Structure 1
Amino acid sequence: MKKHILVIAQYFYPEQFRINDICTEWVKKGYKVTVITGIPNYPQGKYFEGYGLFKKRKEIYNGIEIIRIPLVPRGSNSIMLALNYMSFVVSGFFWYLFTRIKADYVFIFEVSPMTQALPGVWYAKKRGIPCYLYVQDLWPENFEILSGVKNKFIINLVGRMVDYIYARCTKIFTTSRSFITAITNRGVLKEKIEYWPQYAEDFYKPMDKTSISEIPNDTAFNIIFAGNIGISQGLDILPKVAVLLKEKNLKRKIRFNIVGDGRYKETLIELVCSNNVSDMFNFIPKQPGTRIPEFMAASDAAFLCLTDSPLFSMTIPAKLQSYMACGVPIIASAEGETNQIIKESNAGLFSPAGDAQKLSETIIELSLKSSEELELLGENSKKYYDGNFNKKELLNRMDKYLRGYQMLDQKNNV
């Protein structure tokens, strides 16, 4: 009989998150997979076309059973976002009370908000089954930075919720090694935590240099950013950088191709216009993930950026693996583990987070490299990816945990 994995993920297909691929691979490995998720609305903040409170609440995707519980869409302000977070928990509470699903494991894919983990730990306790938590965003730190809430009572309340969740999980997986230290500092045993980095989906792979209609085919040095345009990405640095580059009167034009959508996009466009650097920016609507390698192949380098904060110095954003899998040179404005990986791999150049002057110098340095030098950086990028973020090896490691508990269950039932 197939073992049944119940996945709790507030965001799931057609929203573009890596959990979609993880679940697809589990189905291929012979597991039954059910996903409890919300009505898709990320990052636009409104329900996707064809979905709603009374539309497509159940769906099959790549053999995965999807159950969508009601939630308030994210909207475009902090009040709507708070309602979005809380509505998933409230709906999840009633789902947990009345569900007849009988799973063998719970796997929680935790990107913000961590509140989404609550229905998962409640269900696992009710059923007496292993509960795995995959931490992508560190709370309460992430909550404090992105919400702007400084009230100690509220932060402590969120912290107690986080401790409650950690205490009730069988195993905690993290996307960076720094997260392990942060979680153990909350009193969690180190043996309970495992570094399990993200991988990129199979469609992220190197492509021959090409041109596409969305990016002008001229002599400009094309830098691509692909992904969510939010506060944590720190993209407000780019208009400042563009001003500095413009003052240099460079022989070769620099163009920033921003592919994606998000809550900060309109603000970013306004900043670009107010700084009179619109000619250096090319805003491209959100694209299917499968098309992103084409954009990489039409660009000279890929840009990765994080807001300057102690939290984000511990974070390895998922786009780093996507960029590396495509074998492109990387420019980063970041700190900590992200910069360490770029340094170890010799896959590109980096500058301190939030430092527009240093970033402008870094971009100029990379733009002056020959096509052969850029090609070598791209090759280094792919080589490091293959050696450290191999999808097959990572999934096999996770499989050992799942099947390990399966064997333990069998012994206990003898």
Structure 2
Amino acid sequence: MSKKKHILVVSQYFYPEPFRINDICSEWVKRGYQVTVLTGIPNYPQGKYYDGYDLTHKRMEEWNGVKIVRIPLTARGNNSIGLACNYLSFVVSGYLWKCLTKIKADYVFTFEVSPMTQALIGVWYAKKYKIPHYLYVQDLWPENVEIVTGIHSPLVLKPIGKMVDYIYAHCDHIFATSPSFVKEIQKRCRDKNKVSYWPQYAEEFYCPVEKKYTPEIPDDEMFKIIFTGNIGQAQGLEILPKAAQKLENLKFVIVGDGRNKENFLAEINRLDVQDKFIMIDRQPQEKIPEFLACCDAAFVSFMDNELFTKTIPAKLQSYMACGMPIIASASGETKRVVEEAECGLCSEIGDVDGLCQIIEKMKEKDLQEMAKKSRGYYLDNFEKKMLMDEMEEYLG
């Protein structure tokens, strides 16, 4: 059998930061590939370096057979200036690394969650060694920049758009996480055929588990709706305190951290609905199925923006892998998946009354049947082995 090839993965975020690229790389190693990851110093989502990591410590690591090279970058902080410096510093460090490195791979695979700028490193490295460059798009730019920063000036967005066009033009193949993303990316590509839909899967520990005592979540008769993950502006979680004002016999369980958590807590206090919320700090991903098992349904939401109608959030696959009924304040792709699976109910983004109505309806539904359909749809459409086999056809 011929020896599998060497993949250089460019990802600004990597273990111990909780991103799906961790599992993708680990799986490639199991399948016989040599994998090197070029990444930064872990600081997501809190915006400060993780304990034990800084500009001088743990710059070279190995995890699950993956070789990790950490290049300098500034921590994100908790404001837009800090985030901009974080994005820029990774690209500058990546350019210098590209010029100096002796590491020679057979492919480059860029895992693009914002910032798209990190894909420039993949382009430069691929051009240097004349090797294929694959790009996996999680966030559309410049649209995402406009949402996160509130900047609408063409003087800013047009150059970013040109950068994105340059990146797409210098990719051998582009993978996108939703059919709508495929269409948007194709608008910027001469060769439409080099863009493919490759949805996200959930790690194997995301599976249905038996409900057991979890001290953070009371075992009572309250209807419990859980949200897990990043608490950011894009998630649109401010709808929950407003809904909580109108609902009874219910608890929202929020597991996670993020740049918008303080604002979210302030809104809960302002509306005096603290008794309707259980707040749990960020947890290891492996523990999330235990928390899900203690709740009746899982929640997905977005802020009101057209971009998010095109998005399938990674947490949706995680919820469905665990067989969770879904309550979604979402339109477009997320609504399509939930309705195709018949595993939950959706209201329009930002519609508080609509959300309250579907929550009350959900209480009357056969949740066990929804859970079964949720898990079944996941296995048919998002199962890990199926998707990794598909990717291997591109990598060889």
TM-score above 0.5: yes
- Correspondence 1:314 to 2:307: no
| Cα distance in structure 1, aligned partners of 2:58 and 2:190 | 39
- Opposite residue 118 of structure 2, the aligned amino acid is Q
2:77 is aligned to: 75
Matched, 1:9 2:11: yes
- Give distance in 1, aligned partners of 2:197 and 2:88: 29
1:377 and 2:379 matched = no
Task: Report SS of the residue matched to 1:229.
Answer: coil
The offset of 1:312, in angstroms, is: 0.4
Aligned residues of 1:166 and 1:188 also touching (Cα < 8 A): no
Show the counterpart of 1:231: 233
Please give the alpha-carbon distance, in whole angstroms, between the structure 2 residues aligned to 1:241 and 1:113. 33
Q: Kindly state the Cα deviation for residue 210 of structure 1 after the two structures are TM-superposed.
A: 2.8
Q: Contact 2:301/2:329 (CA < 8 Å) preserved in 1?
A: yes
Residue 390 of structure 1 is matched in structure 2 by: 383
What residue number does 2:155 align with? 153
CA offset digits 1:257-314 (Å, max 9, x no partner): 0000100001100000000100001110100000000001110100011111110000
- Superposition deviation, residue 367 in structure 1: 2.0
2:86 — aligned with what?
A: 84
1:290-329 correspondence runs (5 A): 290-329=286-325
1:411 corresponds to: none
1:11-410 alignment runs, 5 A limit: 11-245=13-247, 250=248, 253-369=249-365, 373-403=366-396
Q: Distance in 2 between matches of 1:212 and 1:53?
A: 38
| SS at 2:98 equivalent | helix
Cα distance, 1:188–1:333 mapped onto 2, change above 3 Å: farther
One-letter amino acid matched to 2:296: D
Quote how far apart the aligned CAs of 1:2 are: 4.1
Separation of aligned partners in 2, 1:353 and 1:211 = 34
SS in 1 for 2:358: helix
Counterpart amino acid of residue 5 in structure 1 = I
| DSSP 3-state at the match of 1:296 | helix
Counterparts of 2:141 and 2:58 in 1: how far apart (Å)?
A: 31
Divergent runs of 4+, >3 A: none
Unaligned runs of 5+ in 2: none
SS in 1 for 2:390: helix
Q: Is the 8 A contact 1:131 1:169 kept in 2?
A: yes
- Contact kept, 8 Å, 2:225 with 2:297, in 1: the verdict is yes
- Distance, in Å, in 2 between the alignment partners of 1:118 and 1:47 is 24
What is the SS of the residue equivalent to 1:225? strand
Could you tell me whether the CA contact under 8 Å between 2:169 and 2:189 is conserved in 1?
Answer: no
C-alpha contact (below 8 Å) 1:107/1:131 kept by paired residues: yes
Percent of pairs with identical residues: 58
Contact 2:168 2:189 (C-alpha < 8 Å) held by counterparts = no
Deviation at 1:365, TM superposition (A): 1.1
Q: Secondary structure at the match of 1:258?
A: strand
Cα distance in 1 between the residues matched to 2:89 and 2:22: 22
User: Gapped runs of 5+ residues in structure 1?
Assistant: 404-414
**Aligned Cα root-mean-square deviation (Å):** 0.8
Letter in 1 for 2:393: K
Q: Report SS of the residue matched to 1:293.
A: helix
Q: Kindly indicate whether the alpha-carbon contact (under 8 Å) linking 1:71 and 1:84 is maintained by their aligned counterparts in 2.
A: yes
Whole-Å separation in 2 of the counterparts to 1:5 and 1:43 = 26
Can you list the C-alpha shifts for 1:3-42, whole angstroms capped at 9, x where unaligned? 1000000000000000000000000111000000000000
How far off is 1:179 after superposition? 0.7
Q: Which amino acid aligns with 1:96?
A: K
Specify the code of the residue in structure 1 equivalent to 2:335. Answer: N
Distance 1:206 1:188 in 2: 43
| Number of matched pairs | 394
- CA shift for structure 1 position 227: 0.4
Paired residue type of 1:384: Y
Aligned to 1:409: none
How far is 1:186 from its partner? 1.8
SS at match of 1:219: coil
Q: Distance in 1 between matches of 2:189 and 2:131?
A: 23
Match for 1:170: what amino acid? D
Tell me the TM-score normalised to structure 2 length. Answer: 0.98
SS of equivalent to 1:223:
strand
SS at structure 2 position matched to 1:311:
helix
Residue-by-residue CA offset, 1:65-87 (whole Å, 9 max, x unaligned): 00000001010000000000000
User: Corresponding residue for 1:410?
Assistant: none
Aligned to 1:412: none
